Amino acid sequence: MDVAALVEQVVLGMGFELVDFETSPRSRLLRVFIDQEKGITVDDCATVSNQLTRVFEVENVDYDRLEVSSPGLDRPLKTASDYERFAGRPIQLRTRVPIGNQRNFKGVLIGLAEGTVRLAAEGGELAFEFDQVEKARLIPQF
């Protein structure tokens, strides 16, 4: 059984977005990060946790601990739709391979078009192939 697919089905079925799903070695710890347009409350996390616990019991998923939380202010950008949704926001981006001896970049996300992530940085506009982005996160603004 694919636990990640099961988690995604439950979370989406409850009207939330599955931002990320992590497991520890041997899947003893399951971490689920959820989000929605209006934000996530503690009650939302508890509701999803309770539902997942019941589903895991029925599906005989063996684990020790389940953690459900919001992705936080420094939310990771995982999917193409994330890059479209958060256009105009400052991000920190890391590439898989160095570009001019640099892997970490900061700037304002312009968006994603034709498989290319575009970023407005101090030195001008930068472009990265989507599949060359190792990870990206929003930079919290206060």
pLDDT for 37 equals 87
Average pLDDT over residues 123-137: 93
The 10s digit of each residue's pLDDT in 6-57 is 999 999 999 999 999 999 887 689 999 999 989 999 999 999 999 999 999 9
**Domain-wise residue ranges, the chain:** 3-69, 80-138
Is residue 82 over pLDDT 80? Answer: yes
Q: What is the pTM of this model?
A: 0.82
Contact 120, 110 (CB under 8 A): yes
Three-class DSSP category at 9: helix
Is residue 3 over pLDDT 70? Answer: yes
In CATH, which of 3.30.390.50, 2.30.30.180, 3.50.50.60, 3.30.70.20 is domain 80-138? 2.30.30.180
pLDDT for 27 equals 67
pLDDT for 111 equals 92
Per-residue burial over 56-93, b = 16 or more CB atoms within 10 Å of its CB, e = otherwise: beeeebebeebebbbbeeebebbeeebbebbeeeebeb
DSSP symbol at 100: S
CATH T-level assignment (fold) for domain 3-69? GMP Synthetase; Chain A, domain 3 (3.30.300)
Is residue 80 over pLDDT 70? Answer: yes
